[in-house]
Every structure is written in structure tokens, then in C-alpha cells.
Amino acid sequence: MSELTFEQMLEESFKTIRNGEVVDGTVIDVKPDEIILNIGYKADGIITRSEYTNETNADLTTMVSVGDTMTAKVLKVNDGEGQVLLTYKRLAAEKGNERLKEAFENHEVLKAPVAQILGGGLSVVIEEARVFIPASLVSDTYEKDLSKYQDQEIEFVISEFNPRRNRVIGDRRQLLVAERARKQSELFARIQAGDRMEGVVKNVTDFGAFIDLGGVDGLLHISEMSWGRVENPKKVFKVGETVEVMIKEIHDTKVALSLKFPESNPWANAEDNYAVGNVIDGRVARMTDFGAFIELAPGVDALLHVSQISRAHVDKPSDVLSVGQEITAKIVDLNVAEKKISLSMKALETAGEEAVPQTDGVDEAAEDVE
């Protein structure tokens, strides 16, 4: 039997490797853009920056140190320069996909920081494996701007797993829907009409405001925002502010809210405050051809009929009154049940006097009637 040369013996002492094989190695040198490994083969292994991380400008010297042990996958036994081209990132991604497959099959809830904001959703990374969360599955409500999720840690489940087609889809929405349903169930079990609680303004529209009561959205209609008149809810409420509201009514999963608290009801002491014969000040709120409505307090309007404006003949209220004008009148009728009050300015005029209010708000002596 022929004797082996030293070179042959040395070569046979090294293991053989193939493309796709997983190997272990020790870092013997690190450069900003590549890692060199001793993998027990006749040639060293090389991991380039792009095969180690997804960070484009990463400095590998800050991530890996000489002497570190690593496991990598062989991409090419000979890269053309006698070196073995390895990948760390792809092997990690393969292991990550196994992790995602397990989570998909077990309906496991995963948690990870958002790595990237994409045009159509979010990208997160689990053990180097990427998961795409479409915009429609990010939240249980429509969100136009997803930038607030950058670097935020979120929970999700894998709703579709097909790594061969590069389709690994995450779903955060179903978790939020389930959590909302749980909170709704708990909330509806302990609240009833008349209860007061704090909520956060979630959205404001022309007809009212939606208040988040802690998993349940209640509607505060414009007519329930005040005992008085509210023209524009957007001038009264801002999204994100905290308000105390009263539950007016619960119907199935719909909650109607109110800010008309009983103790602030302006009609509560109407018999005393607006008794017939009382003289009271008010502001002209609006006018019709038959009279003017005078606001005595927020939520309390009284009618000043055109025939009760003055002893002098008045064709229509707008001839002598203007919206916003302050007037003094006498209460001549009160109906608390129907919330109706009638006023008279004429009743305050002395006999032989025809005082016609001035629209400019300046008091002038009434002309003597001849």
C-alpha cells in the first residue's frame, strides 16, 4: 500500500462540506463588512454583511467579536477565491420560520417590535423571519397613518403561513376585537342607566361625540351635551380629552350618553326662579314672525310674543329687537310640565308709555303718546 503524502494526509484531516450544509465555526477576524470563520475546513468561511443582517450600513465589528462561536449555512463551497461563502441570516430566518409555523399551528400570540412601516402595512421580525401585517389587520378601526407604530412592540397571531410563496401574514386586529368583546362583556355586566363614569373622547362629528368608556363606545348626541343649545360639537370637545358622562340608555350593545346631570337641570327650581310676576333679564336667542325666544338660562327659553313687546304696535319682532340683545321682561305664564314660559315687556311699561326697545342696546326715553 502506497504511503500518503503529507499534503494528502493534511487534506484528509479536514472535513468535507456541501452546499446547504449547516456548520459551526469560530470567528477569527471581523471587518466592518464581513466575518471570517474557522469552520474546520481547508478554507475559511466568509459571512458578508448582507448575509448576516438586514441592516444596510451595519458595522459588523460592533456586532461580532473574535472568538465568538457561530452556526451558519453553506451557500457556496468555493466562492471563486477559494473561500466558503456562508449565511447566518438565512439560517436564522429558516429557524424563525419554524418558530412561526409552530405559532401558526398553535394559534399562539406573538410579540415583537415593528421593524418597518410599509406602504400597505407593518413588517415585524421574529428570529430573523419577517412577518407582514396588512394595514387592514393592524387595528380594529381604520388607521390612515401607521407611522406611530414604528419600533412599537405589538402582539399578533399568524393568520397565514406560506413561506414558499413568501406569505407569512400577521393579524393584530382579531386580538383587539377579542379584547374589546371581553371588555364589553365585563362593562355591560356592571353598568346601568343613570351611572356616571369617565370616558375619553374618541371621535367628534357634527351630530355628537363618541366616548370610549373602556372597551365600549358610547354616543353623546349633540342634544345631550348641554341643557342649553350646542351649535357645533367640534368646538366643545377635542379627541383625547377625558370627560365625565352619565349613561342615559343601554340598548343591546349601544350606549347613549348625556351631560344633562339632574342636579344642574335649570328647570329643577322653575316654580321659584320663574314664578309668574317675577321680573327677569334675558337674551334674545332667535326670532320668528310671531315673537322672540328669550334665553333666561342655558336650557331655559321663554316666548316673548310680538303682542307683548310694547304697548305700541309692532309688526314683527325683528323691527325692534336683534339676536343677542339683552332685555328685561315680566313672567306672565309658567307651565313647568311642558317647559313653557311666557314673557311680557309691555307689562313693565307704565300707563301712557310706549317703550319700544332699541336694537343698538342704548336706552332712550320713550316718546310720549299724545
Residue 221 sits at the vertex; the CA angle it makes with 215 and 223, to the nearest 5 degrees, is: 155
For the 270-348 domain, the top CATH level (class) is mainly beta
Pairing type for strands 279-287 and 254-258 reads unpaired
Contact in structure between 294 and 284 (CB atoms under 8 Å): yes
Which CATH superfamily is 92-176 part of? Nucleic acid-binding proteins (2.40.50.140)
Dihedral sign computed on CA atoms, order 321, 323, 328, 329 = positive
- Identify the CATH class of 191-263: mainly beta
Q: Distance between CA atoms of 358 and 309, rounded to whole angstroms?
A: 12
Q: How far apart are CA 217 and CA 254, in angstroms?
A: 8
Q: Are 241 and 211 in contact (CB under 8 A)?
A: no
Question: Nine-digit cell at 288?
Answer: 320668528
Where are the strands (E) in 259-357, listed by range? 279-287, 291-297, 300-305, 326-335, 340-344
Look at residue 23 and give its three-state secondary structure. Answer: strand
* CB within 8 Å of 280: residues ≥ 6 apart: 274, 296, 328, 329, 330, 331, 343
pTM of the predicted structure, to 2 decimals: 0.55
pLDDT in tens, the chain (370 residues): 445 565 555 455 556 788 889 999 999 999 999 999 999 888 899 999 989 987 888 899 999 999 999 999 899 887 667 789 999 988 888 888 889 999 999 999 999 999 999 989 999 988 878 899 999 999 988 888 899 999 999 999 999 998 778 789 999 999 999 998 888 888 888 889 999 999 999 999 999 999 999 878 999 999 999 888 888 999 999 999 999 999 999 988 889 999 999 988 888 888 889 999 999 999 999 999 999 999 998 889 999 999 999 999 999 999 999 999 999 999 999 999 899 999 999 999 875 555 444 444 434 333 333 3
Residues of the chain with CATH 2.40.50.140: 6-87, 92-176, 191-263, 270-348
The CATH number of 6-87 is: 2.40.50.140
